[in-house]
Structure 1
């Protein structure tokens, strides 16, 4: 198992590698040192577009006074951008959609930002935004996987240490239910939070888990990462340990429900901790009410957590103002402090771990960074998932799993996993 701590020793590369000085695939210096004009930045952060992001523009213009920045905040970001990618009208800077753009399509839609090997000296998660050795998207921030929880709720149920096995986890959720609190919240209706469960791939068997799935014709088999992840969700719902009616869940409301102790936990990345703490503070409670624990799997007696990028920031291949667009990406990555404001892992290797992971520090959690996808085969895992019609990095099949577990859909866990294995195995054969 490959393990990495979040803080990485070593010096950052020199300023010549700044994105505003990158063009083509090799990270050469741009001749436009004083960009000007207007750029449009697409964002999914409808909650901060008129506050935090507006303040960022003010700071950005202290360095680039001749660049005007306009935001388009999209509520259905993935859906809207999916449509707009069919044209050339998708802004100058955007977050790469995760559900419908494969790695081999990056050169079709996005401008090269530099050489992967060079940029990886400064930035974390560069492989996630790279294809064939060239980086097309840089991490906005990273997260460690686990679950956010209401500390008061778990303590009231007699739980003061994180469960170390799936069986202990389910038993603890039952203890919480016995106190009258909904132990777990799926966020089924909004859907996208369910996609974050895939971020746990690697937490059970190690850093090669995702790449291993590209040659496994039956990955939903006991002991594999994806079987443990989806099996835990199935068992949670089947045991009545989640909300009574998942079709009525609401993401924004879930923050308040967790803060007020009406629900006990949600499996998410560490990026969610600060948002839940904000909700606790707004409800008149201590920010420490919200905690973050690792998933109930251990290796050699130690908890593990997979670290991975959140959204990737890219420049449109069809931008008419690429120097200004690259200047914004460069400033956002290096100067904005966005990751720190979100309590998330910085994309800069020189930065320390965030305070939101203090529980992990106390527990001695070992961080796992997945093995890079093989060069030239970066999109293989997505190609297999698409051929199998399994939304591995989305929510649809997990919504179907939840419906099966709660009796709203025919079948059981065994038949559900058998169907996934059948489709996946055929797709593996067809894509080799």
Structure 2
């Protein structure tokens, strides 16, 4: 592990720990006049004189810009957009830890990431949001909860782990059907290699994509309560269920099924390799499609790229919502600001949703709002898999350890699968203990 990366991980864990140990000085703790429950005013009611702060990353988001402008025109409210420096989550956690909260923020709506914000003290409950019954039932309750309380608004279709593949290469190598389970998946990869092709592209240089390989193998185990057992320390990352998936990943690398530049490859390289047919497949999340869209058009993507979910025993998709999918509203202690923040969410997901989804060029999660014509077919396939998907480690575990960093170290040859599992378990236990989770 590089020293700088380790320092970032420690800083983020420390920021979260400050919140859990009660060092936050603002918001939360019953200071809200609404006692934590959002007030749902008419989405276009006048908010002249109100300025809402919205925390996000440094990357431009045309959909967010559009809906903010529309809300300003409809209500008179203004926005102060705060671009937190990367790593975004660490920067926002550090601010929240000292009580410096925005009114709203883009946030990964998973159990592990919501937990770091200590939501019962710092976030508004969105349980009675007016738009919930209008959402696609397949995605409505996929994410955004801690226990039975909804703390995040899902605004776009959640990201999903799956296999992107080049259609022409599948045809060239005689693969006429998408694999129906892990064994068929690897058999297809071996067939491609035997015929002189490159089966998989991994972006080891960017590190974070490495974690998808073990996680897709754990889909059925997750359905069977794996992460609940990990959360109570009944099972660990060092247990065979998880360790075996790490070992399998390493064995596939050793078998030569990946790109030669696996240690330095990037997501940009990965997207180009699959799109142009240099490599047959990549296990990735929606970020890969976004990268393809940044360098190509929908017609080209539709013609060249397919997608399918994969799991150990079948085609169970693993969902992993990211911070582009979810938004949280903070308990700042100012009832007027809290009500205005909730009103913006209400506007976003009702009056303004059709225009927002068009500007974002994203799959709609409301059946009464059609997805834009420019959305790639792959995006719709991914979204349709959510109805039978299972939550990821990030979605179901109480903490999100640096599994990806340890796996990247394994690709570099500095850690064994056993060391990856051990390091990940130790960090998970530390994070769980800081949260006061029983069993740690």
Structure 1 and Structure 2 fold alike (TM over 0.5): yes
Match of 1:273 among 262, 283, 289: 289
Q: Equivalent residues in 2 for 1:321-360 (5 A)?
A: 321-334=337-350, 335-337=352-354, 346-348=364-366, 355-356=377-378
Give 1:172's match in structure 2, choosing from 184, 188, 193.
188
Q: 2:205: which partner in 1?
A: 189
Cα 1:95/1:189, change in 2 over 3 Å: farther
Match of 1:243 in 2: 259
Partner residue in 1 for 2:54: 41
Q: How many aligned residue pairs are there?
A: 384
* Counterpart-to-counterpart distance in 2, 1:346 and 1:202: 28
Q: TM-score, normalised by structure 2?
A: 0.69
Residue 402 of structure 1 pairs with residue 402 of structure 2: no
What displacement does 1:292 show?
A: 0.7
Residues 89-108 of structure 1: pairs in structure 2 closer than 5 A: 89-96=100-107, 102=115, 105-108=118-121
Q: Which of 321, 324, 332 matches 1:309?
A: 321
1:214 Cα offset (Å): 3.4
Match in the other structure for 2:7: none
Q: Which residue of 1 aligns with 2:122?
A: 109
Q: Distance in 2 between matches of 1:279 and 1:146?
A: 21
Is it true that 1:431 corresponds to 2:439 in the alignment?
yes
CA shift in 2, pair 1:115/1:126, >3 Å: farther
Question: Matched residue of 1:252: which SS?
Answer: helix
Alpha-carbon deviations, 1:51-98, whole Å to 9, x = none?
A: 443333333334333333535264432333233333333532212356
Return the match for 1:264 from 251, 255, 280: 280
Q: Which runs of no fewer than 5 residues in structure 1 stay unpaired?
A: 1-21
**Partner residue of 1:368 out of 376, 388, 394:** 388
Is the alpha carbon distance of 1:285 and 1:348 closer, same or farther for their aligned partners in structure 2, counting shifts above 3 Å? Answer: closer
**What are the ranges of 5 or more consecutive residues in structure 2 without an aligned counterpart?**
1-32
TM-score by length of 1: 0.70
User: How many Å separate the matches in 2 of 1:198 and 1:111?
Assistant: 34
Q: Structure 1 residues 287-296 or 32-41, which shifts more?
A: 32-41
Would you say the 8 A contact 2:166–2:277 is kept in 1? yes
What is the alpha-carbon distance in structure 2 between the residues aligned to residue 326 and residue 415 of structure 1? 45
Deviations for 1:294-336, whole angstroms, at most 9, x for unmatched residues? 215335xxx3223453333112333863333223323333433
Shift of 1:425: 9.4
Q: Is the 8 A contact 1:113 1:137 kept in 2?
A: yes
Taking the aligned partners of 1:235 and 1:94, their CA distance within structure 2 comes to: 41
Superposed CA offset, 1:112-135 (max 9, x none): 33359x986455455733335432
| Separation of aligned partners in 2, 1:82 and 1:103 | 8
- Partner residue, 1:213: 230
Q: 1:268-303, CA deviations, whole angstroms, 9 ceiling, x for partnerless residues? A: 235643543553439x9453311111215335xxx3
Aligned to 2:11: none
Give the one of 93, 98, 104 matched to 1:82.
93
Equivalent residues of 1:204, 1:298 under 8 A apart: yes
> Aligned-pair distance for 1:40?
2.9
Q: Distance in 1 between matches of 2:186 and 2:396?
A: 34
1:325 to 1:115, Cα distance in 2 relative to 1, 3 A: closer
How many angstroms apart in 1 are the aligned matches of 2:265 and 2:82? 29
Q: Is 1:293 matched with 2:308? A: yes
Distance change (3 Å), C-alpha of 1:122 and 1:359: closer
What RMSD in Å do the two structures reach over aligned CA positions? Answer: 4.4
Looking at structure 2, the residues matched to 175 and 418 of structure 1 have their Cα atoms a distance apart, in angstroms, of 34
CA contact (8 A) 1:147 1:266 kept: yes
- Between stretches 155-164 and 61-70, larger displacement belongs to 61-70
How far the C-alpha of 1:136 sits from its partner, in A, is 1.9
Given that 2:104 and 2:330 are in contact with CA atoms closer than 8 Å, whether structure 1 keeps it comes out as yes
Q: State the secondary structure of the residue aligned to 1:329.
A: helix
Separation in 2, partners of 1:172, 1:379: 30
For the 8 Å contact 2:123–2:329, the answer to whether it is kept is yes
Moved more, 180-189 or 335-344: 335-344
Checking the alignment, whether the CA contact within 8 Å between 1:92 and 1:316 is kept in structure 2 is yes
